[in-house]
Amino acid sequence: MVGQRLGGRYQLEERVGGGGMAIVYKAKDLLLHRPVAVKVLRPQFGIDEDFINRFRREAQAVASLSHPNVVSVYDVGQDEDTHYIVMEYIEGQTLKDLINQHGALPIEEAIRIAVQVCDALEHAHQNKIIHRDIKPHNILIGNNGRVKVTDFGIARAATSATITHTNSVLGSVHYFSPEQARGGFTAEKSDIYSLGIVLYEMVTGQLPFSGDSPITVALKHLQDPLTDPREINPRIPQSVENIILKALVKDPFLRYGSALEMLTDLETCLSPERQNEQKIEFPVDEEQTRVYPRITEDMLGQAQSDREHYRKGPQTEEDENGKKRWWVRAIVWTAALGLFVILALFGFNLVQQLFEVPEIDVPHVVGTPVQIAEAKIKEAHLVPERQEQFSNTIEAGSVISQDPAPPMRLKENAKVLLVVSKGKKLEEMPNLMSQSRSLAEQQLKLKGFTVTENTFEEKEDETAPPGVVIEQVPAAGEKIVPSETTVKLTISKGKKFVELPDLKGLTEEEAKVRLFQLGLKVGEITQVPTYLTEESGIVVSTLPFTPNMKVEAGRDVPLQVSNGSYPSDAKIGMEPVLVEYDGDREKRVRILVTDARGDKQQVVNEQISSSMEYQVPIILSPEKRTATIEVYMGDEKVPVQTRTISYDDIP
């Protein structure tokens, strides 16, 4: 659908994500000229009224929320058979991408993210909206660090009684709560449990429950004990572990009462006052399965002795009717029944011993080479299974994680899954040549490269338009690890431009040399009459170009030079000026003229020791119809004489 326009307004530019129900595109809002995210319902669901209603319910759920940590909804619509939601576009990555790239996050960063997600959930819960699918994939981290919760696709009002749809459980199996696993009633505490799983994964780098199938994982949520986060990452403060344990307790009544309560705990968990916090404890469920002690030979012998005692004990006298007393018979029957129970238990225990498979402690092999890890697993009489995946932090051939992990115990010959590192994933450097800077930057970020201002440099280019990539390092197609590769992109500034200096007053030859030095060419040379000078060959103009204008390198610059004569409409006169000498001492006289040739031109500058009369030339034009003569003596700042001559005064 890339390139398609929805609603006549939203131009789909590229696909940026998707799930089972919808596909997400980056698009441009042609009306408001801004980037948006458009979530489009998959075509196969466009005729399913139930899916359409769920899709619209997502828009309604998010539209009812207004919070800085919830992705905003701008619009919802239908274009023929295509149903779509227009949302705020977040420039960044998902929390899942961040965990996959870096493993366990710094504790402070994990708490910062959890606080913002919890704040968003508190706002949603206050508005009676349960998200029901909180997971790292639905938490966006903007380039500015802002956390945004998205994908309310299976959200429902807090009064809803079930999360089933066509007999299947909605949600993500690794992150949903025990009550979701049962397909039962979901409330705010289900979101709290899911946030606890997310926080667990952020601080340990791994999920608390995993398995070969969704059913296996769901059963673990219901039955298996939680491995303490500090066993995986000892750097986790006890106060942080306590928050995770309280959020992930299987009994919802023992969890946080609300997202606000959890938020308050998160905001203070790293404070110095909580450094020595004790580990949280929960009451033991009296109804859970217990392990009873095995019946031993001594216990069986004691039971036999008790039986003989009752059988051979003193006989009671028969009553008058020759019958034993009733209580004697009751004691005998009770003893016989007790003996039967003991013998039955003994027999069951004996059979269990014959067929019982011993339990074995699972060895810890995370971080060890896979050959050594498999040897340890086999030595413990367990069966290793290998699964490979790329890792930027664990070297190739070493174990990233195992399932199950200590302190779990397994039956002999049970399977242990080992996730083994394939090393850092090598990817082909994309071809960014001729792309715009913004598009190239976006592609780099999507590939996992670190982009800074130092990534780009600008360079003038005679052929490429401004703003496009003209050089890239590494070259396209080169195999690299994005997170470890420094990229350099050269962006075209277009053709070179130079600043044209003021050439007025230079000779024609001087102007030509100056233009050549700047990379400009000499255009047409025109000789014109001018008021500026009577000397021929002096530059008087470069029109249409003006001084200090940016001119493209290689352009022709025309020159207008004087032909040694004044224009035909010029009036030329000589004005006598008498400068009197006071006889005191020799003084300097300066005479300045403002006329058609320019302002305050100095025509006299000399020492006098007697009165002098000067003939001062005046040139006027129809445009410049007034001339001014100013006479200065010595260091005076104010003229001692000022005379004005008009155009009409000159014959």
User: Does the pLDDT value for residue 20 go beyond 70?
Assistant: no
**Of 88, 30, 84, whose CA–CA distance to 56 is shortest?**
84
**CATH 3.30.10.20 domain position(s) in the chain:** 359-421, 430-492, 497-563
Say if residue 294's pLDDT is above 90.
no
Rounded mean pLDDT of 126-139?
A: 88
Q: What pLDDT sits at residue 171?
A: 52
Please tell me which residue, 226 or 391, carries the higher pLDDT value. Answer: 226
Set 133, 191, 265, 461: catalytic member: 133
Whole-number pLDDT of residue 587: 84
pLDDT at 185: 59
Is 5-88 assigned to CATH 3.10.180.10?
Answer: no
* Cis preceding-peptide flag for 225 (omega within 30 of 0): no
Phi and psi dihedrals of 226, rounded to 5? Answer: -90, 130
Name the residue with higher pLDDT: 637 or 354: 637
Q: Is 461 a catalytic residue?
A: no
Instruction: List the one residue out of 543, 596, 595 whose CA is nearest residue 567.
Output: 596
Among residues of the chain, what percentage have pLDDT more than 70?
Answer: 85
Q: In this structure, which topology does domain 497-563 adopt according to CATH?
A: Trypsin Inhibitor V; Chain A (3.30.10)
The candidate with the shortest Cα–Cα distance to 467, out of 497, 432, 492, is 492
Q: What is the pTM of this model?
A: 0.46
Of 12-26, 261-275, 299-313, 330-344, the one with minimum mean pLDDT is 299-313
Q: How many CB atoms lie within 10 A of CB 199?
A: 24
Pair 113, 202: CB distance under 8 Å: yes
DSSP three-state, residue 522: strand
> Each residue of 209-256: pLDDT tens digit?
988 777 888 888 888 889 999 999 999 999 999 999 999 999 888 999
- Topology classification of domain 571-649: Immunoglobulin-like (2.60.40)
Statement: residue 554 has pLDDT above 60 = yes
Q: Which pLDDT belongs to residue 358?
A: 67
Give 570-628 as a DSSP string: -EEEEEEEEE---SSS-EEEEEEEEETTEEEEEEEEEEESS-EEEEEEEEE-SS--EEE
Assigned architecture for domain 430-492:
2-Layer Sandwich (3.30)
396 pLDDT higher than 70: yes
Least confident of 236-240, 288-292, 593-597: 288-292
Chain region(s) in the chain for CATH 2.60.40.2560: 571-649
- Residue 339 binned pLDDT confidence (cut-offs 50, 70, 90): confident
Could you tell me how many residues make up the chain?
Answer: 651
The CATH number of the structural domain formed by 92-274 is: 1.10.510.10
pLDDT band at 1, cuts 50/70/90? confident
Domain made up of 359-421: CATH architecture: 2-Layer Sandwich (3.30)
* Ranges in the chain annotated CATH 1.10.510.10: 92-274
Q: Give the residue carrying structure tokens 């007025």.
A: 504
Mean of pLDDT values over 445-457: 87
